[in-house]
Chains A and B, each alone.
Chain A
Amino acid sequence: DADVTQTPRNRITKTGKRIMLECSQTKGHDRMYWYRQDPGLGLQLIYYSFDVKDINKGEISDGYSVSRQAQAKFSLSLESAIPNQTALYFCATSDQGTANTGELFFGEGSRLTVL
């Protein structure tokens, strides 16, 4: 089983719909991240969380929200999806040891298409 699991892996939705992408991890890490990948733009940080009570905005947080339900779970929501949110979304984790040097562990990605 994967250490960092994302659901759903693929989702097609319509403009205006609410969408939630879920991430769970069995690595015991305290830090979790959501990134968005677009062709030619690389990875952009949406939100990150260093523990259950700590949520931080990344460089492209507008239009997104997150919830850290437990140490092992970090969900990303699009309250009203729009077509330019079509992208590949990645969850990642790290702990204080690996985070001190920045090493991240990634899920397999969630491909979202907004029509």
Chain B
Amino acid sequence: AQSVAQPEDQVNVAEGNPLTVKCTYSVSGNPYLFWYVQYPNRGLQFLLKYITGDNLVKGSYGFEAEFNKSQTSFHLKKPSALVSDSALYFCAVRGQIGGNTPLVFGKGTRLSVIA
């Protein structure tokens, strides 16, 4: 079975500081990994994905994520946080085997960037 854990319900960071939002996963075989962001009263928007290749993936709005196979993690990072980054962030996973299995989402982490 596929699963995703986001161990922090809330992350607070000062504007200009680096941010990290944590995600660990469990799948059979190799994973496809995703980060989505949800702003208030909006649907989820795709940020970035890991499929294969370079473990450091760069995405929208200056975000990046690092795939670590040994730790089964895919943490979201940004070198310098902005107040406008405040939102709800979801990590998602599916296995590369198993054909049409839909994505499984984590419970979300609320990021608050304080000016």
Q: Is the CB of B43 within 8 A of A109?
A: yes
Cβ-Cβ contact count across A and B, 8 Å cutoff: 55
Q: Is the CB of A90 within 8 A of B103?
A: no
Q: Is the CB of A42 within 8 A of B108?
A: yes
Task: Please give the number of chain A residues whose Cβ is less than 8 angstroms from any Cβ of chain B in the complex.
Answer: 24
Task: Please give the number of chain B residues whose Cβ is less than 8 angstroms from any Cβ of chain A in the complex.
Answer: 24
Residues on the B chain within 8 Å of A48, using CB: 102
Q: Is the CB of A104 within 8 A of B46?
A: yes
Docked complex: B68-98 residues within 8 A CB-CB of A? 90, 92, 94
**Known A-B contacts A90-B43, A108-B42; A101 and B105 likewise in contact (beta carbons under 8 Å):** no
> For the complex, is B28 an interface residue (Cβ under 8 Å from A)?
no
> For the complex, is A20 an interface residue (Cβ under 8 Å from B)?
no
Q: In the complex, what's the smallest C-beta–C-beta distance from B46 to chain A, in angstroms?
A: 6
Cα(A43)–Cα(B107), bound, Å:
7
Interface residues of B, Cβ cutoff 8 Å to A? 6, 9, 32, 34, 36, 41-46, 49, 51, 90, 92, 94, 100, 102-108
